[in-house]
Amino acid sequence: MNQLLPHRFLFRYSFPVRHVAQVPRRGKSLLKLPAGCALPDFAELDSGKPFAEVRLAWNEAGLAIMAQVDGPPHNFDCRLNEPAESDGLQVWIDTRNTQNIHRAGRFCHHFCLMPAGGGSDGMQPTARQLTIARAREDAPAEHSNEIRVNRRDSAGSYAIEAWIPAAALNGFDPEAAPELGFYYLLRAGELGEQYLSVGPDFPIAHDPSLWSTIELQPK
């Protein structure tokens, strides 16, 4: 019998996120998050295999996220006019974790974190905040230029690191609202796509009820 729904659709996911005070860092490594910050991967539930490890951390000043991609740096397809179709790490964050709604509101954010496409040579990592389709109200975007993105290359892999400051996260209040809605989609050229739970066959780009929950752990 053919399976109509992926196994990952059958579960609700909630992940603890560690507090890391020492981010963002100065120097070549923006984050350098420890292995204990890695998010679990459920690709094997649907006979898939991850090609990257995604790590997440927080502190009172914002959120830190990185993706370590198991593949050599390549000619990144990063287009500033089409960030959602480009290589990179896309994240959706709802600072109120409203899991019972199907349309985004002013606390819902969509960020595209690209390993290239910026700078005068088009080779520098960059970030873009996008509006969410069918949203009842858009999240403010005036602080999106404060997002910091870094790429670290090695012989057999590369990492995308991003620091999203609290100012760019409307409603970010770890004490009053420590649970956030969260989803990611990673696109990496020939390696394909990796996503947190269900894939783009579902309306994950604009339906917050399909996002998972992250729990900001105490210090």
The answer on pLDDT for 3 being more than 70 is no
Q: What is the CATH number of the domain that holds 81?
A: 2.60.40.1190
Instruction: Tell me what pLDDT residue 180 has.
Output: 98
Q: How many CB atoms lie within 10 A of CB 169?
A: 22
Instruction: Tell me what pLDDT residue 2 has.
Output: 45
Instruction: Tell me what pLDDT residue 218 has.
Output: 93
Domain residues for 27?
12-216
The answer on pLDDT for 108 being more than 80 is yes
Instruction: Tell me what pLDDT residue 1 has.
Output: 37
Instruction: Tell me what pLDDT residue 8 has.
Output: 58
Q: Based on the structure, what is the number of domains in the chain? A: 1
In a domain, 1, yes or no: no
In a domain, 211, yes or no: yes
In a domain, 5, yes or no: no
pLDDT band at 201 (very low <50, low <70, confident <90, very high): confident
The answer on pLDDT for 216 being more than 90 is yes
Instruction: Tell me what pLDDT residue 97 has.
Output: 96
Residue 139, both tokens:
């999240």
